[in-house]
Structure 1
């Protein structure tokens, strides 16, 4: 019945005389849950009478309620865009906008924003710059501080919330496997996701207790963000399901970062993420960032699959929707590899360049073990970590043979962690290229990609740090007297192979250095994005 009434309402709204204001022209947009009429100055958005499980617009009263919720919630990130809820009425068989007759439908009334000012279209037109993303990152960080903590804090169901959401994603995409999307890739993503959730339940619950689950936007995408003369406007948050909006702040941001990856602009994502983290200092969120990006990519894959199943699309439109579904799933699989496969992190560089400080903080952020060469070397000789070995420097303790044995032991210990499915940090000088290549060979054998973090500092800074060790305990035995010899031994990093090499200047603040490391290390691989395009081409060819 509601569908028939809506059909007559939509027919009335196609006529410019229906509106009590000048109409420049009427454009219509269809989403899987809404019908939208754009009239020039104003937009009218009507919810379809659907019950999809995760949303329920099946009755007129429910649609009115969620129209009101949409106005209230979206005013948090917009300025004078969401105006009011307008009743569409019927009197004597005639349908009116805001008349005095019987309400038969409700519409959200908004000011119309120029399509050319959306982040999505500005990226395509080359009209966006990194400073725009910096401003956006700052706004989103401020928004996360202002939004209330989720009511889930009182229920303790932070993990259950995301677990149920992920299972629902897979349930709703299962029937599309083998028809619209690749079943094998889907199963890989599903297995990695559910395994990660089961292995990190305590971490998700700690995020809840730390107040990281808040009343967020829920649908941060490039086509929901506008750069206008009156500032940045962020529209279309999720109003129809509190569970999908009461989420981790990193989950909220991950959607937009994933969307930028999808649009092959990861550099913009780096700027946005750096500014967001600079204000929130939520570095611990990196442990789940790739996981949430994977979840968000699968959400978009699901939406495209639902669209393909429920709409009679033109052949050209259908092809693009189908290719997007494929690309989203491929992107999800890349993220799954990031969070599911262990990594070897090598923190290396000349002595006193801040390696151990970086390694310790990175270990705390990612919740992984650090293996330090200084401690391993001393343990081999029965010495305690802070017990001095300087009397043996350059002789027995630091001979080439013992150094080789030490690096061999590091590899063995790293291999044990990898075998258990755990990432590991190796903290050592790694001054010789041959020792770095051994790590690369181990990583290749295990099918993983090592990350080499090269710590650098000016000569003056290094000497000052070495001098300080004369007056304070240190696991490292390197002192100012050894500076020239150690500098001469150090070989430049030249061969990376399949490794990622990140160079950092530790004279900068620690938090800035860590952000740089983490953002670069978790950035999506540009080559992999090319591979996705190739996959699309193959699929398009096969579906001719």
Structure 2
């Protein structure tokens, strides 16, 4: 509900930007703000409103909220948020910017950025997010996905820890708000009653199953003051780096969450936009970013995985009932459009909560055979959302040495003793993920029988299905690919390929694995791999996977 007339403040903001730019600003309106976009600056005025979840009813409250917005968003976007500007009463009764009179209102001052760099726009650009075989160019390419996963992890690692905290209580409160919102949407004739009941029931069942796990994560510091609204439209490329902005500032309870729930909004948004390969890739890059010796990051990669379907569904349900509420205030074609999107979010939640038995797939082959390309192509199709956990030996090795995935390691990092530890770590992480009900793709050369036996034993010990994919290509193809690679987790070169082939001379490869010719187009190889594993085609239409044809770690 609106509490006061802000027309004088609005006129002041418009005049201020027009005076500097020579043209009137563009207005973007949200349910709680008016955003005035000038040539180089943006001024954001909070509406004088009161809702059950926020109170901007007085100038003092709005000014305080502006200050909090700037402080919180400077955690991720210090170059965007310049500060708070006071709007005051002038001697002639007009509202002026930064005068000496009493406070009338306040605005957040921001630097204007190129809106074409918003990630929601990049995700929609020319089939973005599914790779073009080169890993470069527009859209959510491989480099951007890598940087995005790292940026979100780094933000969470630095975020204020809340705890020890009752992680289950926080989730319970969100579920109750979601239940009320869905029931209101159904009562208004906007959401399907059968789907509403199914989603509420499945969410309650998942919460009951994982309440103790949520409590454990709260006690170990995985509940932190996060972003709270981390979707694609709130991330922009600044100087080539993904930069999150516009976090929730009006209610700490909405922003203080399990870090995986904070991450889930971004992943759910990608799924809603039909970008399953990008969703699986961001998920994996986030998990890979955590240090090996960090207990919280290890929990994210292990037991915490069990929470992802619930967290993703909760995010989709929030969008569904917020959309339904917006449709109630709309009419005609707008009402139909908003209601349809709300229904799509609700159906996504239903699908995310559907049981998906875990399985283990190992992808092996000599360097340059395209293992990581196949792994990325299959991840979104395997098991619970957002797809299989890809455990790649190249990334495990770099993590063990405390190095970025693309940092080249010295020769001593590739001794038999180190490789033994890498394969042991792979088996341990695969076992932890499977125990959490999450599918795994193990990506390594697997040219020795003992390494293949070890990874198969992980599935056997868990009583779960195992499949091995052995990728094959001619020596010339392998050498060409490893020679062409740039910025890749694998350090293998042409000499490594030739040494691998020499060791395997006369061998036909593993007889109990599927053999996949690693030539042709990536999409064709992925289709053949899916058929070998008995997988349906990608559930959401996609192009090629989020990787490059030349990418093949090890």
TM class by smaller structure: 0.5 to 0.7
**Equivalence for 1:414:** none
Q: Is the 8 A contact 2:267 2:279 kept in 1?
A: yes
**Equivalence for 1:160:** 169
Q: Is the 8 A contact 2:3 2:57 kept in 1?
A: no
**1:269 and 2:279 matched:** yes
* Distance in 2 (alpha carbons) for counterparts of 1:263 and 1:71: 29
**Structure 1 residues 44, 491: closer, same or farther in 2, change over 3 A?**
closer
**1:364 and 2:432 matched:** yes
**1:187 and 2:220 matched:** no
* Distance in 2 (alpha carbons) for counterparts of 1:120 and 1:142: 21
**Equivalence for 1:143:** 155
Q: How far did residue 231 of structure 1 move?
A: 3.5
Q: How far did residue 111 of structure 1 move?
A: 0.9
**Equivalence for 1:42:** 41
Q: How far did residue 135 of structure 1 move?
A: 1.0
**Equivalence for 2:133:** none
**1:298 and 2:308 matched:** no
**Structure 1 residues 7, 25: closer, same or farther in 2, change over 3 A?**
closer
Q: Superposed, which structure 2 residues align to 1:85-124 within 5 Å?
A: 85-91=84-90, 92-124=92-124
* Distance in 1 (alpha carbons) for counterparts of 2:179 and 2:77: 33
* Distance in 1 (alpha carbons) for counterparts of 2:186 and 2:175: 16
Q: Superposed, which structure 2 residues align to 1:424-463 within 5 Å?
A: 427=460, 452-454=466-468
Aligned with 2:238 (options 215, 224, 228):
228
Equivalent position SS for 1:427: helix
Q: How far did residue 492 of structure 1 move?
A: 4.3
**Equivalence for 1:324:** 341
* Distance in 2 (alpha carbons) for counterparts of 1:6 and 1:65: 17
Bigger Rg, which one: 1
* Distance in 1 (alpha carbons) for counterparts of 2:282 and 2:425: 26
Per-residue Cα deviation, 1:134-191 (whole angstroms, up to 9, x for no partner): 11111111111111211xx14x321101111121122123211152211211111111
* Distance in 2 (alpha carbons) for counterparts of 1:100 and 1:212: 45
* Distance in 1 (alpha carbons) for counterparts of 2:532 and 2:235: 32
**Structure 1 residues 95, 369: closer, same or farther in 2, change over 3 A?**
closer
**1:175 and 2:184 matched:** yes
- Higher percent of residues as helix: 1
Q: Is the 8 A contact 2:4 2:57 kept in 1?
A: no
* Distance in 1 (alpha carbons) for counterparts of 2:228 and 2:254: 6
**Structure 1 residues 500, 191: closer, same or farther in 2, change over 3 A?**
farther
Q: Is the 8 A contact 1:14 1:26 kept in 2?
A: no
Greater relative contact order (Cα < 8 A, sep 6+): 2
**Equivalence for 1:67:** 66
Q: How far did residue 347 of structure 1 move?
A: 6.6
Q: Superposed, which structure 2 residues align to 1:23-42 within 5 Å?
A: 23-42=22-41
Q: Where does the alignment leave 5 or more consecutive residues of structure 2 unmatched?
A: 127-137, 291-296, 365-419, 439-457, 473-505, 517-526, 543-554
**Structure 1 residues 144, 355: closer, same or farther in 2, change over 3 A?**
closer
Q: Superposed, which structure 2 residues align to 1:466-477 within 5 Å?
A: none
**Structure 1 residues 188, 2: closer, same or farther in 2, change over 3 A?**
closer
* Distance in 2 (alpha carbons) for counterparts of 1:453 and 1:488: 12
Q: Superposed, which structure 2 residues align to 1:235-250 within 5 Å?
A: 235-250=245-260
Equivalent position SS for 2:99: coil
Q: How far did residue 427 of structure 1 move?
A: 1.4
Q: Is the 8 A contact 1:356 1:427 kept in 2?
A: no
Q: Is the 8 A contact 2:470 2:515 kept in 1?
A: no
Q: Is the 8 A contact 2:323 2:338 kept in 1?
A: yes
Q: Where does the alignment leave 5 or more consecutive residues of structure 1 unmatched?
A: 371-424, 430-438, 440-449, 459-483, 504-520, 531-544
Equivalent position SS for 1:211: coil
Q: TM-score, normalised by structure 1?
A: 0.65
Q: Superposed, which structure 2 residues align to 1:391-430 within 5 Å?
A: 427=460
* Distance in 2 (alpha carbons) for counterparts of 1:132 and 1:27: 29
Q: How far did residue 73 of structure 1 move?
A: 0.5
* Distance in 2 (alpha carbons) for counterparts of 1:205 and 1:366: 21
Q: How far did residue 57 of structure 1 move?
A: 2.1
